[in-house]
Structure 1
Amino acid sequence: MAKPNKKGPTRTVDIFCSKCKTCLFKYRKGGKGALIKCFKERIAEDYTQLSCTCPQCYQVFARETLIRGTPALKIVGGKVTFH
């Protein structure tokens, strides 16, 4: 399988915790579908102290994994929203 494009898309979206609405990070998202995974190299700004955990309510919103050989965060369904 091909690796994701390093530079990625230029459009950024803000990703929020769905429980407390805290901003988790800015992400360069491609396409218009749902947010299922976040490649770590595409995260523009990270506001979390612990990886995959909301800094405000400490809810775990993702799992660290490798997707096509690239480090990524696999989002748990319903734990985050984005604009």
Structure 2
Amino acid sequence: MAKPNTKAPAKSVSIFCSRCQHPLFKYKKGGKGALVKCFKERISKDFTTEPGTCPECKTVFARDMLIRGTPAFKMIGGKVWFK
């Protein structure tokens, strides 16, 4: 499988916890689809203390994975929202 583009997209989105609305990441997202995964190299600002866990309400919102050979977070459906 092909690796993700090394050049990050110009568009940046803010990712929030669905339960407590706490900010989790600033992420360079490509495309206009749903947020399924976050490549770690594209996270520009990280507000979490534990990987994949909300610092406010301690909800697990993502799993640590290797996607196409690149470290990433696989988002759990309905746990996060972005704008």
Stretches (4+) displaced over 3 A: none
Separation (CA, whole Å) in 1 of partners of 2:44 and 2:8: 11
Query: In the TM superposition, what whole-angstrom CA distance separates every residue of 1:19-59 from its partner, at most 9, and x where no partner exists?
Result: 00000010000000000000000000000000000000000
TM-score, normalised on structure 1? 0.98
Q: Is the 8 A contact 1:22 1:56 kept in 2?
A: yes
**Deviation of residue 7 (structure 1)?**
2.2
3-state SS in 1 of match to 2:57: coil
Instruction: State percent identity of aligned pairs.
Output: 65
Partner of 1:47: 47
Q: Is the 8 A contact 1:14 1:82 kept in 2?
A: yes
Residues matched between the structures, number: 83
Partner of 1:5: 5
- Structure 1 regions of 5+ residues with no counterpart? none
Separation (CA, whole Å) in 2 of partners of 1:10 and 1:46: 18
